[in-house]
Chain A
Amino acid sequence: MRIVVCLKVVPRPEEVKVDLETKMLDRAGARSVINASDLNALEAALAYRDAHGGTVTVLSMGPPQFEPYLRVALAVGADDAILLSDRAFGGADTLATSYTLAAGIRKIGHVDLVICGEESSDGGTSQVPPSIAEWLEASQATYVERLVPGKHGTVHATRVLEDGKETVELSVPAVVSVVVGSNEPRFLDYDRWAFAQSAKVLVWNEKELSGDPQYLGLQGSPTAVAGLREVKKAGRRHETLTVTPDEAAARIKTEIERTRLARS
């Protein structure tokens, strides 16, 4: 089975600065990490390959500086790595991002299973995995915690929903998204470190991807950020006290009774 894992390199959220004057996000000063649930996606892929055979390719989109993160994935156990990198891909929303990733997957060819994380910590939309599925005309299962082979080349995926766990049989090719924390990502394999450093990370630009330019980058993104603003805080009383535990308890109890009265 040929498996592709989509990895996103994201800025550490606490290090992103916002300039309210220019309404711009400054990610330049923030250090980057591999998105948390994407590490679970990678682990799910490696575990599936190790148990049932196949190959794992990691795929990302971003500037050339992201290459070292793909080498980390190689050192962890991925077989090869591809970075989609071109200025033409920049400024992409979920529609353009999913299109570009899908074009990369199509170029890889004969992919059976695409595994993504459930959502990214910076965009946080969770829309890219089902969007990739549509571009590829593949089946899909989102919020998956477990993947096992089914009968006749299908894949069984267990989805974590609000009201229970649903196991579905997926025809392949399929795109799945994996819930954060659903497995324990393995550590770097130091025996693979030399391989990861010397391995070739393929970099594909717009020309090599041969996608339709109307769906790429900013041009292919129908949504726009109209503005940034400070989150409106609810009007609160802000009564802050440093008192003994018993006094504190009495004050809290009064507050509880006050809400009870307001309710009835």
Chain B
Amino acid sequence: MAATDEGGLWVYAERRSDGSSFTPVSLEILGKARELARQLSVELTAVTVGADGHAAADLRKYGPDHVLELAHPLLARHDGKAYATAIAAEVHKAHPSTLLLGATRNGQDLAGRLAVRLRTGLTAHVTSLELEGKDQLVGWVPGFGGGIEAGITCPVKRPQMVTVRPGVFPLPAEGPPVGDVTTVTPHLSEKDVGSHRVSFEPKGTSIDLTRADVIVVGGRGTGGNFARIEELARALGGEVGATRVATDAGWVDRDRMIGQTGVITRPKLVLVLGVSGAVQFTVGIEGAGTVVAVNRDPQAPIFDHADLGIVGDLGPVVESLLRALGED
């Protein structure tokens, strides 16, 4: 790749903990970035960090102009300090205009540190990205109490940094490999590394609701009876999702929480059961194909977000539905 990449668009391609493949959100952003780079007439670079280069070439399937691989034994596992040091050195050489990262836990661990190292602005957790003017991104962030999203920009400093929520952009299709791969060995020493892994306990059943086609969501109105919700999800070949109320109450694991502080989902079908429909939740299902809601309260805001809404007691409706599905 060119020594300087003035105006260029960089995407941080984050590897999974085992180092073998990339997090889905990295690829989602690469897909979106391909589109943005075309509109801006700039080059797209996928940047990846690790102990070796064996996975980097996979990124060529997602349409980058360049793949930049930062490889060093001290980068074998994610350490915010070391990763920021390695990436900042390349940013200082090439001067990209934009750096996008996935809002995963390690992605955010890195982004907060890197933004300070680069003395630049960081917009966190965006759910959509728009272009404004010559090279300015507007990152839209939902929140602020109800039904409102804020557009955040970084008008002067470059690179403008943005972290993107998983699941908000579709996973791009793989194409024929394109772009060149450059491997760089950063100058690092032990003092650049702040933390070392002592142990790792993989999650037995890792659940990624951003990939589910069918989700059955339970909220406060379930009264904690998730056994029936699970049964329904099983009958539909789907996954169980939950609101913050349900996960805070300990009825369901926190990684099944949907919404602003949980997961943004795009299922083909979502059944929303006993959920009032606060905006903090509904931002997590805006991208769903079909929304069916059941709630006792006819005034519940969830009906404003549903294709089909049933006003009624949850228990009997779920029993009838399980029966009806069992008849097939």
Contact = CB atoms under 8 A, between A and B. Distances in A.
Nearest to B190: A171
| Residue from A142, A226, A234 whose CB has the most chain B CB atoms within 10 Å | A226
Interface in A210-264: 221-234, 236-243, 245-246, 248-253, 255-256, 258-259, 262-263
A125 B144 contact: no
B195 A255 contact: no
A221 B119 CA distance: 10
A228 B149 contact: yes
B42 interface: no
Given A229-B151, A236-B291, A170 B195 contact: yes
A8 B254 CA distance: 23
A259 B290 contact: yes
Contacts of B151: 225-229
Given A228-B149, A231-B279, A259-B268, A131 B113 contact: yes
A13 to B, nearest CB: 5
A227 B150 contact: yes
Contact of B120 (A163, A222, A234): A222
A163 to B, nearest CB: 5
B177 interface: no
B184 interface: no
Given A174-B194, A262-B268, A249 B304 contact: no
Interface string A153-189: 0001101111111111111001000000100000000
B194 A18 contact: no
Given A162-B105, A236-B306, A256-B269, A130 B287 contact: no
A165 B185 CA distance: 29
A222 B324 contact: no
A228 B122 contact: no
Interface in B206-248: 206, 208, 213, 236, 248
A124 interface: yes
A140 B294 CA distance: 44
A98 interface: yes
A142 B125 CA distance: 16
B116 A95 contact: yes
A127 B124 contact: yes
Interface residues of A, number: 86
A88 B251 CA distance: 45
Contacts of B140: 229
A43 interface: no
A135 interface: yes
A98 B283 CA distance: 28
A27 to B, nearest CB: 9
B323 A249 contact: yes
Contact of A156 (B81, B198, B202, B294): B198
Given A135-B116, A170-B194, A248 B306 contact: no
Nearest to B311: A242
Contacts of B255: 162
Contacts of A174: 194
Nearest to A14: B145
Interface in B54-109: 80-81, 84, 104-106, 108-109
Nearest to A160: B105
A129 interface: yes
A25 interface: yes
A84 to B, nearest CB: 18
B112 interface: yes
Contact of B144 (A94, A222, A228): A228
Contacts of B323: 249
A263 B268 contact: yes
Contacts of A259: 268-269, 289-290
A236 B307 contact: yes
Contact of A253 (B110, B287, B324): B324
B232 to A, nearest CB: 10
Nearest to A94: B122
Interface stretch (B1-9, B27-35, B152-160): B152-160
Contacts of B147: 18, 230-231
Interface string A2-24: 00000000000111111010000
A45 interface: no
B125 A124 contact: yes
Contact of B194 (A13, A140, A167, A246): A140
B130 to A, nearest CB: 10
A231 B324 contact: no
Interface of B: 16-17, 80-81, 84, 104-106, 108-117, 119-125, 132, 138, 140-157, 194-203, 206, 208, 213, 236, 248, 254-255, 260-261, 268-269, 271, 279-280, 283, 286-292, 294, 298, 303-313, 316-317, 319-321, 323-325
Leading 8 A-B pairs by shortest Cβ distance = A139-B194, A222-B121, A130-B112, A249-B320, A125-B124, A16-B145, A127-B112, A240-B309
Interface of A: 13-18, 20, 25, 93-95, 98-99, 119, 122, 124-131, 133-135, 138-143, 150, 156-157, 159-171, 174, 181, 221-234, 236-243, 245-246, 248-253, 255-256, 258-259, 262-263
22 contacts: A18-B145, A25-B144, A98-B112, A122-B144, A127-B108, A130-B109, A130-B111, A131-B113, A168-B197, A169-B196, A181-B248, A181-B254, A222-B121, A224-B155, A233-B286, A234-B287, A241-B309, A242-B298, A245-B313, A246-B320, A252-B292, A253-B321
